[in-house]
Amino acid sequence: KLSERLKTIASFLPKGTVFADIGSDHAYLPCFVCLQDKTAKAIAGEVNEGPFNSAKDTVATCNLTSVIEVRLGNGLQVINEKDEIKQLVIAGMGGALIRMILEEGKKKLSSVQRIIAQPNVDARSVRKWLIEHRFMITNEAIIEESGHIYEIIVADKINIINPDNEDISEKQLLFGPLLMENKPKAFYSKWKLEYEKLQHVIEQMKKAKKVNEEKIIRYEFELQLIREVIE
């Protein structure tokens, strides 16, 4: 049974998708998608040998070797122009790593129309990279599952330069432009938790021998932003 998190990601792939799932681990997502949609095709990329072998096993067990290719390699190195990848999924990693994979592989994105990212932490840096590279955030989801809260960002390529896209506030980057408008239940849960964590961090920092004033000021600013959004 697939997690709600991966099901939600799958719901953002159109019928007939040709997608790459980078850091696919067991390849559960591409197998779920290709079992449901006989016209879908996928590449599952993995940098580590263990998950690469697990992915190959799942694909073989599901009889999907003709539609899902499992490739070993770092980030977007596993995709080529002739794959004509239309959608790209990078899920279950930190935001900084997702951003690095996108940045290092940006030459591989010419055919990509949609990027679906699910950063475990630091969604802000993923949003920032996306809008700076002509991807517009068109959908966002936040879900609570097994004691964790996950954010999913959907961004679509824009072909003409749209100054409005890059005109995004600090708040929108941090909270998500659509999430902060719709404020689903899990959004409140997430930011209440982050607020408490940050308060604790600040308290500890104030007790330290060498007080890092600059960082404290930044964190206190973030606390204020969170208050404004959840109150």
Measured at the CA of 95, the angle between CA 177 and CA 226, to 5 degrees, comes to 45
Out of 24, 58, 87, 172, name the contact with ligand SAM by CB under 6 A.
24
Measured CA to CA in angstroms, residue 116 lies from 18, 31, 98, 200 at distances of: 13, 17, 11, 32
Nearest approach in angstroms of CB 45 to ligand SAM is 5
187 neighbors 179 (Cβ within 8 angstroms): yes
Spatial separation of the C-alpha atoms in residues 42 and 23, rounded to whole Å: 13
Residue selected from 92, 95, 105, 176 as contacting ligand SAM according to rule CB under 6 A: 92
45 sits near ligand SAM (criterion: CB under 6 A) = yes
Q: How far is the CB of 47 from ligand SAM (least distance, A)?
A: 4
Least distance to ligand SAM, CB of residue 110, Å: 19
CB of 76 to ligand SAM, least distance (A): 8
Q: Report CA Rg, the chain.
A: 19
Residue 119 engages ligand SAM in binding (rule: CB under 6 A): no
Closer Cβ to ligand SAM, 122 or 222, answer by number: 122
- Selected from 11, 48, 212, 224, the binder of ligand SAM by CB under 6 A is 48
Structure-token pair, residue 25: 């681990």
Cβ closest to ligand SAM, residue 125 vs residue 172: 125
**Residues present in the chain in total:** 231
Which parts of 124-163 interact with ligand SAM (CB under 6 A)?
Answer: none
- Binding-site member from 30, 51, 95, 177 for ligand SAM (CB under 6 A): 51
* Helices 123-132, 95-104: inter-axial angle, 10-degree rounding: 30
Question: In 175-207, which positions are buried (b, 16+ CB within 10 angstroms) versus exposed (e)?
Answer: bbbbbbeeeeebbeebbeebbeebeeebeeeee
Q: Which stretch binds ligand SAM (CB under 6 A): 23-31, 62-70, 80-88, 203-211?
A: 23-31
Size of the site for ligand SAM (CB under 6 A): 17
Stretch that binds ligand SAM, among 46-54, 155-163, 169-177, 187-195 (CB under 6 A): 46-54
Name the nearest CA neighbour of 142 among 114, 115, 164, 123: 123
Residue nearer to ligand SAM on the CB measure, 57 or 196 = 57
Nearest to 191 by CA among 154, 155, 152, 228: 228
74 touching ligand SAM, by CB under 6 A: yes
Binding stretches for ligand SAM (CB under 6 A):
6, 22-25, 45-48, 51, 74-75, 91-93, 97, 101
